[in-house]
């Protein structure tokens, strides 16, 4: 188990200048940025980093982004960023940042929405809410591939699937607006039967839900109906109501 979560609770968090080592376009709206850190520290899957941009006149903007990578990827972290049209930090990353650029970050932070090796685990993500869940899935695949973990991933359309080339048998997708041609899986919003199918016997374990507030609200209700205890369900929400 010590290989799974080798993270002690020591103080993280000084600002540092990382270097963008690689950029991958995941979808038309989403890119992943691998950032090499001079003061790397192992994170728990589910944790986030803060990013700070500074203009020449000193004006600054900060945002938090979930880590998508396994903590085995020393000395890098991967931040997957959804481009928000009216945003300030995400358009900068999408439109300006290129490989080799320096970015100011600090982390990893907070230890609630984190996976510490509990099983079975059901991960439920909506849209870019899949990002912290991917850190859990990736880390589990590399450390304990037999551990019972399943991802339920709700996306609008085929173009919106982040990490499409990495989703295997341990991921169940549903397309809420349009599915790929020939798709025989679930379509439409999450519902009780889909959750029951995905959860199987995992209602005895933990569940992580991440997405927009509306998504998390409805997914939370479905998991309670499926037999999960409220105390087993951890949620993370983003976006205004």
Partner 1 sequence: MSAFVSRGFTGRRRTSAELRVRLPPGQYAEQGFPVLTAGPTPDVPVGEWRLRIDGMVARPQEWTWEQFAQLPFEAVRCDIHCVTKWSKLDTSFGGVSLDTLLAQVEPRGSYATAWSHGGYTTNLSIDDLSDGKAWVVTEYEGDRLPREHGGPARLLVPHLYFWKSAKWLEGIRVMDHDEPGFWESNGYHNRGDPWKEQRYWTD
Q: Which residues bind partner 1 (CB under 8 A)?
A: 11-15, 17, 50, 52-56, 58-64, 86-88, 91-92, 96, 101-104, 109-113, 213, 216-217, 220-221, 223-224, 230-231, 233-235, 237-241
> What is the Cα–Cα distance from 230 to 195, expressed in whole angstroms?
16
Phi-psi region of 239 (alpha: psi -120 to 50; beta: other; left: phi over 0): left
**Which CB, 59 or 146, lies closer to partner 1?**
59
* Closest separation in Å from C-beta 92 to partner 1: 6
* Cα→Cα distances 136→16, 46, 95, 170, Å: 25, 7, 28, 12
* Closest separation in Å from C-beta 30 to partner 1: 20
DSSP E strands, 47-157: 48-54, 60-66, 76-82, 102-109, 121-126, 149-155
Could you identify the residue written with the tokens 């982390």? 107
> What is the Cα–Cα distance from 107 to 180, expressed in whole angstroms?
38
* Closest separation in Å from C-beta 116 to partner 1: 12
* Closest separation in Å from C-beta 220 to partner 1: 4
> What is the Cα–Cα distance from 146 to 126, expressed in whole angstroms?
25
* Closest separation in Å from C-beta 15 to partner 1: 7
Q: Is 219 helix (H, G, I), strand (E, B) or coil?
A: helix
> What is the Cα–Cα distance from 40 to 72, expressed in whole angstroms?
11
**Which CB, 50 or 76, lies closer to partner 1?**
50
End-to-end CA distance of the chain: 39
**Which CB, 54 or 197, lies closer to partner 1?**
54
**Which CB, 30 or 108, lies closer to partner 1?**
108
**Which CB, 51 or 155, lies closer to partner 1?**
51
**Which CB, 114 or 161, lies closer to partner 1?**
114
* Closest separation in Å from C-beta 29 to partner 1: 18
Q: How far is CA 56 from the centre of its chain?
A: 32
């Amino acid at each position: 188990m010590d290989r799974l979560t080798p993270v002690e609770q020591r103080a993280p968090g000084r600002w540092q200048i990382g270097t963008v080592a690689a950029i991958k376009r995941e979808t038309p709206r989403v890119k992943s940025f691998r950032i090499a850190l001079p003061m790397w520290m192992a994170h728990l899957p589910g944790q986030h980093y803060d990013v700070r941009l500074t203009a020449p006149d000193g004006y600054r903007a900060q945002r938090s982004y979930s880590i998508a990578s396994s903590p085995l990827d020393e000395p890098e972290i991967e931040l997957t960023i959804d481009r928000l049209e009216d945003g300030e930090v995400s358009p900068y990353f999408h439109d300006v940042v290129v490989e080799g650029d320096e970015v100011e970050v600090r982390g990893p932070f907070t230890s609630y929405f984190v996976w510490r090796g509990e099983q079975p685990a059901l991960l439920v993500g909506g849209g870019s809410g899949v990002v912290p869940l991917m850190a859990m899935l990736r880390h589990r695949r590399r450390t304990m591939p037999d551990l019972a973990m399943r991802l339920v991933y709700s996306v609008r359309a085929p173009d919106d699937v982040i990490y499409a080339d990495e989703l295997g048998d341990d991921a169940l997708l549903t397309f809420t607006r349009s599915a790929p041609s020939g798709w025989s899986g679930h379509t439409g919003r999450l519902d009780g039967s889909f959750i029951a199918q995905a959860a199987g016997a995992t209602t005895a374990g933990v569940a992580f839900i991440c997405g927009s507030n509306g998504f998390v609200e409805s997914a939370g209700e479905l998991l309670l109906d499926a037999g999960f205890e409220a105390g087993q369900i951890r949620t993370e929400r983003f976006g205004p109501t």
